[in-house]
Amino acid sequence: MNLNWRFKALTQKLLWRLPGGVRMNAGLSRLMSGHDPNVELIQKHIPTFFRHWDSLRSAGQTAEAPRATLEIGTGWDLDVALLMSLHGVQTVTTADVFRHVRFGQVRQSLSLFEALIPPIASHAERDPSIVRKEWERLMNARSLDNLCECGRIRYLAPVSSDYREIQDDFIDFCCSTSVFEHVRPEEIRQILAATRCKLRPGGISSHIIDIKDHFAYFQKNLPYNNFLRYSRKAWEWWADNPMSYLNRMSPSDWRAIFQETGYEMVNMQAMEERELPKLRPDMIHHEQRHRSVEDLAIGEIHVVARRR
């Protein structure tokens, strides 16, 4: 199905104002995309988690698992938190502004982990038999609270804006995947400043940020930077709800905001977009024409930063 992106934007504007609209939107998205939990886990969640975990080593950390981790943006499942647990993390915190997670969905996803125990154990440098026993204990859980207790997982949703539920100087490693692009710049500053306080001195943050127009995944042949055609006022009319909103920040903007909030940049990997079409320069709105050629070519960034 290839509908105009405006149809989806208007649908999300309406759903956001309805009780249960967020869950209805998720259901519609899964239906239209042919969502397969197995494909989602193997092709998306596992590889992105491994990228985050490997960023610890690129930052000079030892192979030993961090004591305490924080995931920003739990989403609809606990896949990342469960992977952290099976990697031997002692205290796993996962936080979100919405409480989306349901026990049945987590159990369905967790059942798919059995085939992944060998690569998880290898990547975590743990005994596969120990990882299997921990997975079996999780599978025997009878409720979401019981599962989180078995997995040493703390699920905070909704979390406060200043993350006051987490003690300062406690977290060794913080990560997020495709979350920050949906948050307004002023709120990004608040989140980064707050989570910086939760990191121990020298603690590492790893954030994968998809800076493309997400409607390009929905409408065929839509340029990956199509949202740059619009002024801020016009764009926010279409995307004035958390389900559609994209902050349209460039790689240079992201580098600056991490530095402004007290982080030392360890690495910023910028991936050039080569598959989706690109907007012609003359079609970019004048508010966005300050962007460099290098910034305009990038579709995703992976920021690894350290608390100073």
Q: pLDDT per residue over 255-270, tens digit each?
A: 999 999 999 999 999 9
Q: Which amino acid is at 63?
A: A
Residue 150 has pLDDT above 90, yes or no: yes
Mean pLDDT, rounded, of the chain: 92
Would you say 121 and 128 are in contact if contact means Cβ atoms under 8 Å apart? yes
What pLDDT does 63 receive? 60
The C-alpha R_g of the chain, in whole angstroms, comes to 20
What pLDDT does 305 receive? 97
In a domain, 230, yes or no: no
In a domain, 85, yes or no: yes
Q: pLDDT per residue over 200-257, tens digit each?
A: 999 999 999 999 999 999 899 999 999 999 999 999 999 999 889 999 999 999 999 9
In a domain, 258, yes or no: yes
DSSP the chain: ----HHHHHHHHHHHHTSTTHHHHHHHHHHHHHT--HHHIIIIIIHHHHHHHHHHHHHTT--SSPPSEEEEE--TT--HHHHHHHHTT-SEEEEE-SS----HHHHHHHHHGGGGGHHHHHHHHT--HHHHHHHHHHHHT--SHHHHHHHTTEEEESSPPTT-TTS-TT-EEEEEEES-GGGS-HHHHHHHHHHHHHHEEEEEEEEEEEE-S-GGGGTSTT--TTGGGGS-HHHHHHHS-STTT------HHHHHHHHHHTTEEEEEEEEEEP-SS----GGGS-GGGTT--HHHHHEEEEEEEEEE-
What is the pLDDT averaged over residues 159-178? 96
What pLDDT does 35 receive? 53
**Single pTM value for the model:** 0.93
What pLDDT does 31 receive? 61
In a domain, 112, yes or no: yes
What pLDDT does 24 receive? 80
Exposure of 148 in the CB half-sphere (CA atoms within 13 A): 16
Residue 34 has pLDDT above 60, yes or no: no
Residue 141 has pLDDT above 80, yes or no: yes
What CATH number is associated with residue 203?
Answer: 3.40.50.150
What pLDDT does 40 receive? 76
Beta carbons within 10 angstroms of residue 89's beta carbon: 22
In a domain, 8, yes or no: no
In a domain, 12, yes or no: no
Number of domains, the chain: 1
What is the pLDDT averaged over residues 148-155? 98
In a domain, 1, yes or no: no
In a domain, 62, yes or no: yes
Residue 29 has pLDDT above 80, yes or no: no
Q: How confident is the model at residue 59 (pLDDT cuts 50, 70, 90)?
A: confident
What is the pLDDT averaged over residues 103-124? 94
The DSSP bridge partners found for residue 267 are 304
What is the pLDDT averaged over residues 88-101? 96
Q: Which domain holds residue 261?
A: 36-211+249-307
Strand 171-177: give its sheet, edge to edge. Answer: 153-156, 91-95, 68-72, 171-177, 199-210, 298-307, 263-272
Closest residue by Cα to residue 168 from 195, 193, 191, 188: 195
Q: pLDDT above 90 covers what percent of the chain?
A: 82
Residue 37 has pLDDT above 80, yes or no: no
Lowest mean pLDDT among 18-22, 131-135, 292-296: 18-22
